[in-house]
Structure 1
Amino acid sequence: MTTRRLGVLGVQPAVVAVLVSTFFLGFGGGVIFPILPNLGAVVGIAPVVVGVILSANRVVRLLANAPVGTVVDRVGTRTPFVAGVVLETVATVGYLVALRSAVPAAWFLGARVLWGLGSAFVLATAYTIAADVCEPESRGRTMSIVRGGTSLGFPAGMAIGGIIGEVYSANAAFATATGLSVVACCVTYLAVPETHAADRSGGVGLRDLDFSSPALITGGANFALLLTYNGVVFATLVSFLDTVPAGGVAVGAQGTSGVLIGASVLTGSVFSVAGGKVSDVMGHRLPVILACFGGLSAGMVLLAVGTTFPVLLTAVLLLGAGQGGVGGPLVSLLGDLTADSRMGRATGTYNALGDLGASVGLLVSLPLAGLIGFPSLYRLTAFVPVVAATAVMAGLYTTYDEIPDVTSG
């Protein structure tokens, strides 16, 4: 475990470096995101192929998360993190090439594959770095800062990307993303240290995945969390807004959806840090996790009855607060219960289960809404956080005969 020194605002320098790098990567990813669904109009790619391109990065990351965790435990944190940032930068260059290529679909698909692989390295390593450099009593705050901070760049990039693509061109937006990714590369190479040297093991192989109780308990909860928020909400909100009067507020369903999701994501980042800090002060993660799962469920219920913009805004703010408030303490709980030498593999399993939940939500939510309607879908989804909260509590009691505190690891 690395020496723990305090940097900006009491945050360890390694964590600050990770936050800056991932902010620029997220910002660049957000700049690109509004344009990708419109590739049919931009370069004439068939809608089915656009769907494959959009999902490629998540499929690759889902498959890569767990093996990447073993790499982190084997070789350390710096090299995988640098590799992940470089892969994502190369991916943004691939987008630029695709616009000028005779086979743009192949280039876009390859770029999304690289982005997915790179993000698997970045996310698994970022959590491991945070766990390596913090004390148990401040783990909630530190790991929640990383979780919340890594998502901050994306909504800002989405807003800027839509403007750049609309006012200038897709090429200008992709060039902006490439420049931001290059900045992330420079920050990463110069500022991100090795934090896992004392805990890495040359005997760890790619098949040494982590299926321990802490990884499965927290990973299962992450599955439910991302199924609800990144899956159901993200996949259906625009279509749902088309069915209610508030969907036409000011900028139409698509614009209103962007405003609501941006506000929700920002709220989630704030509550991720706040939830982690509160769990540190309390000495236990579970009360915060249970309360915020309740908020997530309440947000889904409120969304189901939303017919005015104020109600919809309140619903998505509740959803953002719930997912952020759960996510920070949840990954901190994983750090509490996992040995330093296994943290890379544990976060790989945690991320894999979360991506699986988001993928399931994205796949089933729109077809299910077509069968039962959006309000019924949202009411049904409101049970998912309740089941997850119950499962976490039961899993901890069954495994440890008590609720672990922040120093249990």
Structure 2
Amino acid sequence: MPDSSSESTARSVVYAVVASTFFVGFGGGVVFPILPNLGEVLGISAFMVGVILSANRWTRLVANGPAGVLVDRIGTRKPFVVGLAIEGLATVGYVVAIRSSMPELWFVLARITWGIGSALVFATAYTITADVSEASSRGTSMGIVRAGITFGFPAGMVLGGIVSEVYNNATAFAIAASFAGLASVIAYFIVPETHVESTDSSINPLDFETTLPALTVGLVNFGLYFAYIGVLFSTLVLYLEAESLTLSVAFAGYGIDYGEQGTSGLLMAVSALSGAVFTISGGKISDSVGARMPVLLAFLATSCAGFVVLTLAPSFGAVVVACVLIGAGQGGVGGPLTALLADLTPEERMGRAMGTNNIFGDVGGGLGPLVSLPVASAVGFDLLYALSAIVPLVAGTVLVVGIYSYTGSLSPTVEESFV
């Protein structure tokens, strides 16, 4: 049983990781409400916009595995700090892109750079949390860290949507870059080494985690990111434009009319905020009941319900409800899912397990924009969102089959050890 001093230290580390990932997350969200509309202004095709939005995830597809191996080999601190600094540099690249005569090239380069940095950050953030938390509180800790990442993302979307309309796109990108710089400073001065005491050169750089728990959790992560980031976030601004759904606010005798960019930024922020709230509560509930599976399946069903609402009722109120439900489902799964992976993975292989998990998530998030934007143009948004509602159901089936095959239980408790 850890003493109060070690518990306090663990909380401080977790909160420092939360703060760092929150501030750097601005750069991840800022492009989503801006770029789909900006594509028309700059003459960037819909396919190229999809390439830009997904370039970071395709880069992480290559970088996630080596990043996880690196964590198990040299530790968490250096990759975490360096990864945050690289993400800050990538956000500066957005400012260059918007002023360049070749914006496509600079946006792609910036997103590739972001992918390298975020591969290091994601592999380390969750590994640090797994290192400093006990099984009985792991769901809560994972939820808090995931919420930090999630809160930064909607903050960036609000920044991108509103600041770009009130001022300009370059200003939105510049503010995001300054916060990314702050993130690396926080990490450098506060986050300690948690994973290894010395470099272990015996670890093979290609020794990825391919156990059944890692593959099962990874496939669920794939489905979630495909539907949420790849479909909803990549198409929402275009859906609002097609349905003529924008937000008008009257306050103190003044009226504010948001365009598609501003409205989509706010809606995506609402969805991600819902996700952040339920990320924390989902992890805490799984700790309280002593099992991850019931919580995971309930939130997967919630995500499915959100896409059903989005399909059946094309009104602004229905879109808000759908975004809240989809965000809640995505977030509610996040904490328990990473905690489940940590429950079933030896500590010394946690970096590699997170690398594998991130690979699957990035394939889903990267494939989503490439598929959803052309499909929406070809068959319409209703059918696209209806098909997306099936994805969480398939993910739930994969989860049940995989975990039962590995543990022999439909709902293993957090106290049970299978590693």
Structure 2 length as normaliser, TM-score? 0.88
Distance 1:373 1:46, change over 3 A: closer
Structure 2, unpaired ranges of 5+: 249-257
Of 335, 360, 385, the residue aligned with 1:378 is 385
- Kept in 1, the 8 Å contact 2:33–2:261? The answer is no
SS at match of 1:382: helix
What displacement does 1:311 show?
Answer: 2.0
Matches of 2:384 and 2:53, distance apart in 1: 24
- Kept in 2, the 8 Å contact 1:300–1:315? The answer is yes
Q: State the match for 2:299 in structure 1.
A: 292
Distance 1:296 1:248, change over 3 A: same
Answer yes or no: is 1:261 the counterpart of 2:287.
no
Matches within 5 A, 1:90-169: 90-98=89-97, 105-169=104-168
Answer yes or no: is 1:187 the counterpart of 2:186.
yes
Matches of 1:121 and 1:391, distance apart in 2: 27
Point out the more displaced range, 161-170 or 11-20.
161-170
Answer yes or no: is 1:397 the counterpart of 2:389.
no
Distance 1:100 1:126, change over 3 A: same
Matched residues, number: 404
List per-residue Cα deviations over 1:337-392 (Å, max 9, x = no partner): 00110000000110110111122222222333344432233222222211211111
Point out the more displaced range, 250-259 or 305-314.
250-259
Of 352, 357, 361, the residue aligned with 1:354 is 361
**1:266 is aligned with what amino acid?**
L
List per-residue Cα deviations over 1:256-295 (Å, max 9, x = no partner): 3222211111000000110000000111000000111111
What displacement does 1:307 show?
Answer: 2.6
Matches within 5 A, 1:214-253: 214-244=213-243, 247-250=245-248, 251-253=258-260
What displacement does 1:253 show?
Answer: 4.0
Identity percentage of aligned residues: 50
Of 272, 278, 281, the residue aligned with 1:271 is 278
**2:204 is aligned with what amino acid?**
G
Matches of 1:388 and 1:108, distance apart in 2: 32
What displacement does 1:154 show?
Answer: 2.0
Point out the more displaced range, 163-172 or 101-110.
101-110
- Kept in 2, the 8 Å contact 1:45–1:105? The answer is no
Of 309, 312, 325, the residue aligned with 2:332 is 325
Q: State the match for 2:22 in structure 1.
A: 23
Q: State the match for 1:307 in structure 2.
A: 314
**1:267 is aligned with what amino acid?**
S
Point out the more displaced range, 310-319 or 44-53.
44-53
- Kept in 2, the 8 Å contact 1:128–1:344? The answer is yes
Of 328, 336, 343, the residue aligned with 1:336 is 343
Distance 1:243 1:104, change over 3 A: closer
Answer yes or no: is 1:88 the counterpart of 2:87.
yes
Point out the more displaced range, 393-402 or 51-60.
51-60
Matches of 2:370 and 2:100, distance apart in 1: 30
- Kept in 2, the 8 Å contact 1:144–1:327? The answer is yes
Q: State the match for 2:254 in structure 1.
A: none
**2:315 is aligned with what amino acid?**
T
Matches within 5 A, 1:7-86: 7=8, 12-31=11-30, 33-37=32-36, 46-47=44-45, 51-86=50-85
Point out the more displaced range, 192-201 or 221-230.
192-201
- Kept in 1, the 8 Å contact 2:161–2:263? The answer is no
- Kept in 1, the 8 Å contact 2:74–2:198? The answer is no
Q: State the match for 1:5 in structure 2.
A: 6
Q: State the match for 1:363 in structure 2.
A: 370
Point out the more displaced range, 77-86 or 256-265.
256-265
Q: State the match for 2:253 in structure 1.
A: none
Matches of 1:220 and 1:50, distance apart in 2: 26
Point out the more displaced range, 191-200 or 350-359.
191-200
- Kept in 2, the 8 Å contact 1:32–1:173? The answer is no
Point out the more displaced range, 104-113 or 154-163.
104-113
**1:308 is aligned with what amino acid?**
S
Matches of 1:358 and 1:191, distance apart in 2: 31
Matches of 1:185 and 1:147, distance apart in 2: 18
Q: State the match for 1:177 in structure 2.
A: 176
List per-residue Cα deviations over 1:98-149 (Å, max 9, x = no partner): 5666765544433222111001100111000000000010000001111111
Distance 1:303 1:347, change over 3 A: same
SS at match of 1:242: helix
**1:193 is aligned with what amino acid?**
P
**1:237 is aligned with what amino acid?**
L
